[in-house]
């Protein structure tokens, strides 16, 4: 990419950011609607974001020393694409943080 192209992209991004900073939610919705996008039709995860957290689950296995069946706790990454709003979101965060 040429230096002039890069500078033009940086300027365009700065202008877009400045425009959005001056808009409230209704103004941002109007900008989207002017470009044929209805904010209410956008998937929930695109409106509110996606949460990623650790999740504990149990996995059946075999104890290698005794050969007996065993259940072991494991962790995996869980993705939440339907985050709650306002007070429900705060409660959700408190639950994960343990406060």
Helix (H, G, I), strand (E, B) or coil at 55: strand
The predicted-structure confidence for 11-36, as pLDDT tens digits, reads as follows: 999 999 998 998 998 999 999 999 99
Mean pLDDT of 61-87: 92
Q: Is the pLDDT of residue 74 over 70?
A: yes
Question: Distance of CA 28 to CAs 22, 24, 33, 40, 48, Å?
Answer: 9, 6, 9, 12, 14
Please report the pLDDT score of residue 22 as a whole number: 87
Q: What is the pTM of this model?
A: 0.54
Domain ranges of the chain: 1-42, 43-99
- In this predicted structure, what is the pLDDT of residue 84? 86
| pLDDT 10s digits, 41-57 | 999 888 888 989 899 99
């Amino acid at each position: 990419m040429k230096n002039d192209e890069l500078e033009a992209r940086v300027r365009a991004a700065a202008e877009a950011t400045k425009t959005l900073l001056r808009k409230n939610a209704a103004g941002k919705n109007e900008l989207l609607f002017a470009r044929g996008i209805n904010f209410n039709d956008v998937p929930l995860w695109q409106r509110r974001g996606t949460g990623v957290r650790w999740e504990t689950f149990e996995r059946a296995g075999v104890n290698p020393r005794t050969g007996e069946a065993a259940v072991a706790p494991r962790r995996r990454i869980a993705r939440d694409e339907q985050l709650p709003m306002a007070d429900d979101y705060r409660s959700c965060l408190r639950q994960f943080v343990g406060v």
